[in-house]
Amino acid sequence: MTHRKFEARGLAVPSGRISRLARFGTMATGIAGGMLVDGARHLARGEKPRASDLLLTPANAMRVTRQLAHLRGAAMKIGQLMSMDAGEMLPPELSEILGHLRAEAHYMPEKQLRAVLTLQWGKNWMERFESFPFTPIAAASIGQVHRARTRDGRDLAIKIQYPGVRHSIDSDVNNVASLLKMSGIMPKDIDVVPMLAEAKRQLHEEADYTREGQCLARFGALLEGETAFVVPRLHEDLSTASVLAMDHVSGVPIESLVSADQEVRDRVMRLLIELLFRELFEFRMMQTDPNFANYLYDTTSQRVVLLDFGATREFPEEMTEQFRRLMRAGLDGDRAAVRAACLDIGFFTETTPERYQNGVLDMFALSMEPIRNGGVYDFSNSDVAMEMRDMGMALGAEREFFHIPPMDTLFLQRKFGGVYMLASRLKARVDVRAAMEAHL
């Protein structure tokens, strides 16, 4: 597994409940102090600022970013998801600064890392390795990745979870939710309990490396023998609930193909779009995280490398059939049938105001643009991904009508949006309709 080069420094992860709570306390105190200073400035100018305006300042956002980056785990993960998936609900300044969390790369210092691995593998674990560099090749919100070679010759990528992450998920989610509630950026009449429950469930799944290893192995089996994709092989003898060992697979970042030949870009995106429909309709199991870092390209074998299966979800057969009906109605341009399918799926209800329903239907019609017209679709001349984002922002602004559809559909939308975004980034040309019709 080859990862982006990053500038990083060792910074111990607060693993205890008290130490993590103290970090949130420090963050809240710093924010409150910033609000007092900013409030005094506004009053000196004869202005009467709102509390939310004082909270959502660049300085306070930077305080949040630093503390979430230090905490890592669920706290940092939610900050990343806010910047990636909920940007339409945040002021531009906050969205931009929270975006820095995706580039943060603190990692465990050697002493803490040794303690974690001794707990997982036993005190003589180093005897199993020919080499084990203590500086990781990648660091993220829940864990960090090391490239190591075992004494029996295996070249491995080993993902190691930060200590305390699994046990701090529920409290971290609640604390971040409290910050959101303080900010006033969430609609007051929205029941966030299902969203918080889902966030906790997803994060618990992502923090369970045993489950991720099983998903990795299942995807490997589903794609076994195919020449277009490679899934790293799981090494169970070194894997635990907090450590995931797999083959190290070489590749370049997928978005670096922006400078590759048009033929290469077209082929790669065709493969990924075909895989998307296979995941939904054939496998009924999807890796739902659209982060570009989850894909590499092996320039030697010309295969797409698939990484990170922590966000894998299984879909019930009923849901895939609902989406088949939705896609068929979209291809036929039958707006009434599209509306019926959207009601069936739960994008809105019969009591949802017509204006909001029409907004959802218009957004779906836009998403069908690359599919409805047969033949090759040129994503280089398309603003579909950005237009969909703008429409999503407009719908999000309809706070009195705000409706949360079933969580599975949100993850599916997220994946489709990410694939469209990558296709636009690579300026690819793909016959999307042919890729989908094979499953209808």
Give the residue, 352 or 211, on which the prediction is more confident. Answer: 211
DSSP string of 310-374, one letter each residue:
TTEEE--HHHHHHHHHHHHHHHHT-HHHHHHHHHHHTSS-TTS-HHHHHHHHHHHHHHTHHHHS-
In the predicted model, is pLDDT for residue 24 greater than 90?
no
Average pLDDT over residues 375-379: 90
Which domain covers residue 427, as residue numbers?
251-440
Structure tokens at 236: 């169970």
Average pLDDT over residues 220-238: 96
pLDDT of residue 188: 57
Asked whether residue 190 is assigned to any structural domain, the reply reads no
pLDDT of residue 418: 85
The structure tokens 């300026």 sit at: 427
pLDDT of residue 48: 43
3-class DSSP assignment, residue 184: coil
Tens of pLDDT along 114-168? 999 999 999 999 999 999 999 999 877 788 899 999 999 999 999 999 888 888 7
Sorted by sequence, the CB contacts under 8 Å of residue 130 that are 6+ apart come out as: 149, 150, 151, 153
Q: How far apart are CA 38 and CA 49, in angstroms?
A: 9
Average pLDDT over residues 14-30: 46
Active-site residue identified among 266, 289, 308, 408:
289
In the predicted model, is pLDDT for residue 27 greater than 70?
no
Q: How far apart are CA 139 and CA 287, in angstroms?
A: 20
Lowest mean pLDDT among 89-98, 123-132, 341-350, 368-377: 89-98
pLDDT of residue 367: 83
How would you list the strands of the sheet with 229-230, edge to edge?
229-230, 303-306, 295-298, 252-253
Lowest mean pLDDT among 2-16, 205-219, 341-355: 2-16
Q: How far apart are CA 4 and CA 2, in angstroms?
A: 7
| Contact status, residue 303 vs residue 230, Cβ threshold 8 Å | yes
Asked whether residue 110 is assigned to any structural domain, the reply reads no
Phi/psi of residue 180, each to 5°? Answer: -65, -40
Q: How far apart are CA 320 and CA 267, in angstroms?
A: 26
Asked whether residue 127 is assigned to any structural domain, the reply reads no
pLDDT of residue 187: 53
Sorted by sequence, the CB contacts under 8 Å of residue 420 that are 6+ apart come out as: 367, 370, 379, 384, 385, 388
Asked whether residue 159 is assigned to any structural domain, the reply reads no
Ramachandran assignment for 231, one of left (phi > 0), alpha (psi -120 to 50 degrees), beta (any other): beta
Tens of pLDDT along 417-428? 888 889 988 999
**Band of the pLDDT at 404, cuts 50, 70, 90?**
low
Asked whether residue 10 is assigned to any structural domain, the reply reads no
Sorted by sequence, the CB contacts under 8 Å of residue 105 that are 6+ apart come out as: 6, 7, 8, 138, 139
Phi/psi of residue 313, each to 5°? Answer: -130, 145
**Tally: H helices and E strands in the chain:** 17, 13
Lowest mean pLDDT among 3-7, 111-115, 248-252, 266-270: 3-7
| Contact status, residue 308 vs residue 289, Cβ threshold 8 Å | yes
Q: Which amino acid is at 361?
A: L
pLDDT of residue 394: 64
Strand pairing category for 285-287 and 138-139? unpaired
289 is catalytic: yes
The structure tokens 């599919």 sit at: 371
Phi/psi of residue 391, each to 5°? Answer: -65, -35
| Contact status, residue 227 vs residue 303, Cβ threshold 8 Å | yes
Q: Which amino acid is at 280?
A: L
Q: How far apart are CA 161 and CA 309, in angstroms?
A: 14
pLDDT of residue 289: 83
Q: What's the whole-model pTM score? A: 0.76
Instruction: Indicate the number of domains in the chain.
Output: 1
Of 145-149, 355-359, 434-438, highest mean pLDDT: 145-149
Structure tokens at 216: 């990795």
| Contact status, residue 140 vs residue 1, Cβ threshold 8 Å | no
Asked whether residue 162 is assigned to any structural domain, the reply reads no
Of 220-224, 311-315, 374-378, highest mean pLDDT: 220-224
**Band of the pLDDT at 66, cuts 50, 70, 90?**
low
Q: How far apart are CA 317 and CA 341, in angstroms?
A: 15
Lowest mean pLDDT among 119-133, 231-245, 293-307, 357-371: 357-371
Lowest mean pLDDT among 49-53, 135-139, 278-282: 49-53
Q: How far apart are CA 378 and CA 368, in angstroms?
A: 14
Asked whether residue 77 is assigned to any structural domain, the reply reads no
Asked whether residue 353 is assigned to any structural domain, the reply reads yes
Ramachandran assignment for 73, one of left (phi > 0), alpha (psi -120 to 50 degrees), beta (any other): left
Nearest 10 degrees: CA dihedral of 413, 416, 417, 419? 160
Q: How far apart are CA 182 and CA 174, in angstroms?
A: 12
